[in-house]
Amino acid sequence: MTGPILRGLILALTLLFLIGPFFIIVAAALSAGQSLAFPPDGLSLRWFIKVFEVESFRTSFAVSMSLAIFGTLTALLLGIPAAYALHRYPIPGAEAIRLTLSTPIIVPGLIVGLALLRYLVIPTGIGIYAALFLAHTALVLPYAVRVVSASLANLRSDIEEAALLLGATRTGAFLRVVLPNIRGGVLAAFILGFVTSFNQVPVSLFLSGPGVRTLPIDMIAYMEITYDPSVAALSALLALMSVGIVFAAERTLGFSRYV
């Protein structure tokens, strides 16, 4: 009976591989020493406290938060109608549109970042925040379209017709009948978009500039100068935040159905 044992071992190793780094980061963050090290040099919470004292972390956290929230909301505002139109009408070239909408996921972030810098930011001279906002919205849009499409596919289209015959306008039918029935998918898209935007590095790397940085970029910059465990503490906090959001989403609406 080696089968079950072998399977158990493979499972354990896979899990270790997936979540091991997280534990190493948490352990390193709990260190009492001055530099980032594993195993930790004594135990303390001082680096977790330090995180909140670093001014640049606070401002870049605010930048990342607002990008994640407003970028994702904008992506949903564009993505929900797009998903609906693709689902509902026989649009010529629908497949091409779907593919184009996915390119921000497929094309490597470094290329997207460089391209945006070279062909959007430099020629137009738009502000750093505006550039970041546009980039994050574009990056999140594919998720919005995809996840909302998945929940639209599970929705019968005749309920819209029923609403029309009961006196609703087309817009009214969408707002009163379609939207309430895909709210789980919309929320899932929001969470997925939020997490994607918040953790985004390569594109933000090119677009961040003086005074405006996202949190991950700020962490990289911080590490180049100060090699203390506060970055590990911050990473642990961010990972916990992501896990918390996804966990809450899974519990309330079965997040994994949509992703």
Partner 1 sequence: MSDHLSLEDVTIAYGQTVAVEALDLAVADGELVTLLGPSGCGKTTTMRAIAGLVSIRSGRIELAGRDITRVPPSRRGVGLVFQSYALFPHLNVFENVAFGLRLAGTSDLRRRVEAGLATVGLSDFAGRPVAALSGGQQQRVALARSLVMEPALLLLDEPLSNLDARLRLDMRTELQRLQRETGVTMIFVTHDQGEALALSDRIVVMRDGRIEQIGTPEEIWSRPISGFVADFVGFEVIVPEGDGALAWRPSAVALGAGPHRGRVVGTAFAGERREIVLESPLGRIKAETAATAPPHALGTELAFDLPRERAVRLARVG
Q: Which residues bind partner 1 (CB under 8 A)?
A: 156, 158-159, 161-169, 172, 176-177, 180-181
Q: Give the integer Cα–Cα distance in Å for 81 and 60.
A: 32
Closest C-alpha to 193, from 91, 103, 111, 71: 71
CB of residue 88 to partner 1, shortest distance in Å: 13
Is the CB of 32 or the CB of 179 nearer to partner 1?
179
CB of residue 168 to partner 1, shortest distance in Å: 6
Is the CB of 118 or the CB of 170 nearer to partner 1?
170
Is the CB of 25 or the CB of 178 nearer to partner 1?
178
Q: What are the C-alpha distances in Å from 251 to residues 132, 154, 181, 185?
A: 32, 20, 18, 14
Q: Is the peptide bond before 39 cis (omega within 30 degrees of 0)?
A: yes
CB of residue 98 to partner 1, shortest distance in Å: 23
Q: Give the integer Cα–Cα distance in Å for 132 and 205.
A: 10
Q: DSSP assignment of 172-185, as one string?
A: HHIIIIIHHHTHHH
CB of residue 253 to partner 1, shortest distance in Å: 13
Report the C-alpha dihedral over residues 160, 163, 164, 167, rounded to 10 degrees: -170
State phi, psi for 31 to the nearest 5 degrees: -65, 150
Is the CB of 16 or the CB of 159 nearer to partner 1?
159
Using DSSP's 3-state secondary structure scheme, residue 212 falls into strand
Q: What is the 3-state secondary structure (H, E, C) of 105-143?
A: HHCCHHHHHHHHHHHHHHHHCCCHHHHHHHHHHHHHHHH
CB of residue 256 to partner 1, shortest distance in Å: 21
Is the CB of 156 or the CB of 251 nearer to partner 1?
156
Is the CB of 63 or the CB of 187 nearer to partner 1?
187
CB of residue 163 to partner 1, shortest distance in Å: 7
